[in-house]
Structures are given as C-alpha cells and as structure tokens.
C-alpha cells in the first residue's frame, strides 16, 4: 500500500515539475535566452444587462 502511495506522489510531483518547466520555456526568445515574460491579457468582463428599479430589462442607453 505504501508503494502505491509513493508512486502516486512521485507521479504528481513529476506532473507539477513539468508544468513549471513549460511555463519557463515560454519566457525564452528564439535563441534560447531568457527574456521578460509577456503580461497576461486581461480577461474581458462581460457587462451585465441593464435593469430598472423593478428588475425589468431595459436598454442600457436609457439609464
């Protein structure tokens, strides 16, 4: 039982280490030199539909 647990922990640690290596590879230029990683683009926030005081949907331009 302890060998199985050790094998699972080893597999999980290898997956985690591989994920970090993939992120580090993205911060290299074509010659393999380290560069500053680009900023992640901000996710677009979806605007909620406009409602009046009673909760009915209205056109957003009529606020």
Residue spans per domain, the chain: 1-36
Cα separation of 60 and 51, whole Å? 8
Task: Confirm whether pTM is higher than 0.75.
Answer: no
The arithmetic mean of pLDDT across residues 5-15, rounded, is 69
Cα separation of 8 and 14, whole Å? 10
The β-bridge partners of 57 are: 51
* Statement: residue 29 has pLDDT above 70: yes
Residue 54 pLDDT grade (very low, low, confident, very high; cuts 50, 70, 90): very high
Of the chain, the percentage scoring pLDDT greater than 90 comes to 2
Q: What is the DSSP letter of 51?
A: B
The pLDDT value recorded for residue 38 is 78
The pLDDT value recorded for residue 45 is 67
The β-bridge partners of 34 are: 28
The pLDDT value recorded for residue 61 is 77
């Amino acid at each position: 039982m302890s060998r199985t647990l050790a094998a699972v922990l080893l597999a999980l640690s290898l997956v985690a280490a591989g994920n970090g290596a993939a992120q580090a590879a993205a911060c290299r230029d074509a010659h393999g030199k380290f560069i500053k990683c680009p900023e992640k683009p901000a996710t677009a926030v979806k605007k909620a539909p406009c409602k009046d005081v009673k909760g009915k949907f209205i056109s957003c331009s009529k606020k």
